Amino acid sequence: MRTKLYRRSFTKLTVLTGASVLVVPACRDDAVTPPNELTLTSDERDLFERFAEVFLPTDGSSLKPRAEVPVVDNIEHAFTLMDAPTLEQVRIGLKLFDYGAVLIGLHFARFVHLSAQRRLDYIKRWEDGLEIQRGISTVLKKLVCYGYWKDIEAGRAIGYQGPVSKAGGIASLGNAPMPSATNG
């Protein structure tokens, strides 16, 4: 029974596990503007926090401490750029990841309740799993990366220059002159 539910939801999800830069597929003919109002549920916030904790452990490294970056708020913002049907599907994907640990009977506990080591192992199993598991784990990784490196100082901590033109006083060249009549 559990396996059936799991399979059905996964099949439904095949269209949704986007791999784009922000990773969230907007499938409407033209994406929504202006952004939706949206708040992540506490389960979703928990999932991203617990995922980021083991996926991107900044303690003891030269990276900007994750606690100083509003990673989950940034992800929430990315969610506001999705249209309603896409959002619904992405949310199913997140649930599957979180509850997959229970549903496929590996751990009998949600992902968010696993120990750090088990969470790491779980992510690695999904990376190597079925097509849909590979897709969902990639989505989660890309969203966390987006949420973290959206912060300009997080980029600077690894040597990335970030915006330069304004600070460097680089002048605009303006629009190009009209081509001469003979040139076209």
Q: Binders of other proteins among 137-156, rule CB under 8 A?
A: 137-138, 141-142, 145-146, 149-150, 152, 154-155
> In whole angstroms, what is the distance from residue 173 CA to residue 83 CA?
38
| Binding piece for other proteins, criterion CB under 8 A, among 20-28, 36-44, 94-102, 103-111 | 20-28
Element (H, E) at 3: helix 2-12
Is the CB of 2 or the CB of 21 nearer to other proteins?
A: 21
Question: Which of 14, 47, 50, 107 is in the footprint of other proteins by CB under 8 A?
Answer: 14
102 forms part of the interface with other proteins (CB under 8 A): no
Q: Which of residues 104-133 bind other proteins (CB under 8 A)?
A: 120, 123-124, 127-128, 131-132
Shortest distance in whole angstroms from residue 1 CB to other proteins: 27
According to the binding rule CB under 8 A, does residue 10 interact with other proteins? no
Q: 146-173 b/e with 16+ CB inside 10 Å = b?
A: bbbbbbeebbeeeeeeeeeeeeeeeeee
Q: How many C-beta neighbours within 10 Å does residue 93 have?
A: 22
DSSP state of 166: T
DSSP string, 83-94: -HHHHHHHHHHH
Residue with tokens 């202006």, as numbered in its chain: 34
Q: Which of 5, 19, 84, 109 binds other proteins (CB under 8 A)?
A: 19
Q: Is 135 in the site for other proteins (CB under 8 A)?
A: yes
Nearer to other proteins, 1 or 37 (CB): 37
Residue among 104, 110, 143, 130 nearest 14 (CA): 130
Least Cβ distance, residue 92 to other proteins (angstroms)? 13
